[in-house]
Amino acid sequence: MALKHVLAGALAPWLLRLLRLTWRVDEQPPRLVTRRGANSETGAIYVMWHSRILLGVTTQAGQGMHVMISMHGDGELIARAAERMGFRPIRGSTSRGGLEALRATTTVLENGGQCALTPDGPRGPRMTVQAGCVLAAMRAGVPVIPVGFEARRMKRLRSWDRFAVPYPFTRVAVRFGAPIMVPAGLDSSGLSAYCERVRVGLLAVTREAADALGVTAETPEIDPLPAEPVAPASG
């Protein structure tokens, strides 16, 4: 592994911890992951939008959650940083290593573990729900819990998900939704119906988190970044 990857994997957790110390975080219910892990014998899947990964990792660190990390080139770097933040990586995604990752996730859940997934990752479309989280919940018999993250002030990148980078000293809101139980034996239409239920649940907690901060909730229909200006034709 290149030295820059080793250094980045070691430094990133410290920088994120420092960033977290500057935020004012309003989480409702507070520390749900820790309390559920201590009091429940069954696992759970927590779902959030891919654009909110930085908010999720930073506010939910140190609670022993399993996280799926894709097999792309930067995956090893991200996995090392996640471990130092108190997460347990599961390698794979819907595009690479998906079947193995689904099996590994199901095993973790069946043993009472808690997993965090981004149902619109790793490549979108933005704010849609793919079937992986619903399939894992159905196979393991665990609930899907939508989680909304919002920051009062943040920079949006021009990536497919409009990745959110919260500024230091901003206000942050975290909202957990009601658990969604997925029945066993769903066919393709049933899976699609529960993907839509999860999507609706995620949009609801996204609105709740935004309302807590007095900002406009993000939606799939409206791009949070303005269109880039078109340069005038030369000549």
Count of C-beta atoms within a 10 Å radius of residue 182: 24
Query: Of 114, 27, 14, 9, whose CA–CA distance to 68 is shortest?
Result: 114
Which position has the token pair 């770097």? 77
What is the distance between the alpha carbons of residues 131 and 164, in angstroms, rounded to a whole number?
24
CA separation, residue 96 to residues 34, 73, 108, 115, 228 (Å): 30, 11, 19, 18, 32
Q: How many residues does the chain have?
A: 235
What is the distance between the alpha carbons of residues 10 and 12, in angstroms, rounded to a whole number?
6
Beta strands in the chain (DSSP E): 24-28, 44-47, 66-69, 88-91, 114-117, 143-151, 154-156, 164-166, 171-176, 180-181
- Decide if 130 contacts 120 (C-beta within 8 A): yes
CA separation, residue 190 to residues 124, 142, 144, 155 (Å): 21, 17, 15, 37
The pLDDT of residue 41 is 77
Query: Of 117, 114, 213, whose CA–CA distance to 172 is shortest?
Result: 213
pLDDT tens for the chain, 235 residues: list them: 455 555 556 688 899 999 999 999 999 999 999 988 888 778 999 999 999 999 999 999 999 999 987 666 566 777 788 888 999 988 766 555 567 778 889 999 999 999 999 999 888 999 999 999 999 999 999 999 999 999 999 999 999 999 999 999 999 999 999 999 999 999 999 999 999 999 999 999 999 999 999 999 999 999 999 766 655 665 5
DSSP secondary structure string for all residues of 8-29: HHHHHHHHHHHHHHH-EEEEES
Structural domain boundaries in the chain = 12-213
**Model confidence pTM above 0.85:** yes
What is the distance between the alpha carbons of residues 183 and 181, in angstroms, rounded to a whole number?
6
The pLDDT of residue 93 is 62
Amino acid identity at 59: T
The pLDDT of residue 100 is 78
What is the distance between the alpha carbons of residues 12 and 7, in angstroms, rounded to a whole number?
8
What CATH class has 12-213? alpha beta
